[in-house]
Amino acid sequence: MIEVVSPGPYASVQDLGRSGYAHLGVPRSGAADAPSMRLANRLVGNPEAAAGIELTFGGALLRFAAGAWIALAGAPCPVDADGRPAGMCAPIWIPAGGTLRVGSPREGLRTYLAVRGGIGVAPVLGSRSTDSLSGLGPPPLSPGTLLPVGDAPVTAIQVDVAVQRPIPPCAAVRVVLGPRTDWFTPGALKSLGAEPYEVASESNRVGVRLRGAPLERAREGELPSEGMALGAIQVPPDGRPIVFLADHPPTGGYPVIGVVAARDVAVVAQLRPGDRLWFKPAGSPWTTGSPAGL
């Protein structure tokens, strides 16, 4: 059992999410920076889809009733493993009764903790993830939360330390235009690629809200509700884009000017309020993107 003494600003159990239910109105959820969650799991010999803990702005203190191998990946934080300094992206042994203290990240936003065997809370619709939009899954961690260690099938721990991708405060993010690029003026397309956007503080696991040049629409009216993809750049009437993260609603009625390339969604998920991002075309020209292969 793991006791959450303090969860930090916001922490939740996450795995790779509940896929296959979007048509029933269920967000996918799962780790916002999935590659970091997968890495932490690999480091302790877990299946990549095992459930771990997603910390936001670090700052957590956990107590382990039984000894456990753990690893941290994602936003790099100072780590104190039962009184000894320890590092990111490396398997760490916490003895029975020992504590794990995670400080604030030097850069980036979300830090992932994997425990050998996984977090064993009850799955809901095939996933142990907390869905902050719909409330499915376990509640976010709070002081006193007890988390069972699971029995995910494990393999031998093979690596002493891993190198993690850099997590910069300014990121260039690739975008595939569409599906609703035609709802915007040519000027909006130019703005999207011209100036950096700043991450607003109202951002969360549902989406990253951006401040910067508003994107002007070429037409009035409402878009009939349609399915939304992970990484969609949705543009509400005020013209300020929102990039959808793991807990995004599965359908929506605001036009999507483009979708962040799959590998770059994790980059967006690590941006803090005040960080900046540039959008750049994923393919060659900015202006392709309508019919796929037709």
Partner 1 sequence: MTIRRAGEHGLLVETGTTAVAHRLDALLRAERPREVEEIVPGQETVLVVAPGADHDRLAARLVTLLDAASAPPAGRYEEAAEVVEIPVVYDGADLQAVAELTGLTAREVAERHAASEFVAGWLGFAPGFAYLVGLDPRLHVPRLETPRTSVPPGSVAIAGPYSAVYPSASPGGWRLLGRTDLRVWDVAADPPARLAPGTRVRFVP
Contacting residues toward partner 1, per CB under 8 A: 19-26, 28, 124-125, 134-136, 176-180, 224-232, 249-252, 256, 259-262, 282, 289-294
Q: Quote the least distance from Cβ 167 to partner 1, whole Å.
A: 21
The residue (of 67 and 283) whose beta carbon lies closer to partner 1 is 283
Task: Phi first, then psi: give them for residue 177, nearest 5 degrees.
Answer: -65, 155
Q: Quote the least distance from Cβ 268 to partner 1, whole Å.
A: 13
Residue 268 CA to residue 198 CA, distance in Å, equals: 11
The answer, yes or no, to whether the previous bond of 27 is cis (omega within 30 of 0) is no
The residue (of 181 and 191) whose beta carbon lies closer to partner 1 is 181
Q: Quote the least distance from Cβ 253 to partner 1, whole Å.
A: 9
**What does R_g of the chain's alpha carbons equal in angstroms?**
20
- Tokens 């040519």, residue located: 186
Q: Quote the least distance from Cβ 136 to partner 1, whole Å.
A: 7
The residue (of 102 and 247) whose beta carbon lies closer to partner 1 is 247
Residue 105 CA to residue 56 CA, distance in Å, equals: 9
Q: Is the Cβ–Cβ distance between 11 and 145 less than 8 Å?
A: no
Beta bridge partners of 62: 4, 100
The residue (of 94 and 257) whose beta carbon lies closer to partner 1 is 257
The residue (of 26 and 79) whose beta carbon lies closer to partner 1 is 26
Q: Quote the least distance from Cβ 29 to partner 1, whole Å.
A: 11
Q: Is the Cβ–Cβ distance between 112 and 40 less than 8 Å?
A: yes
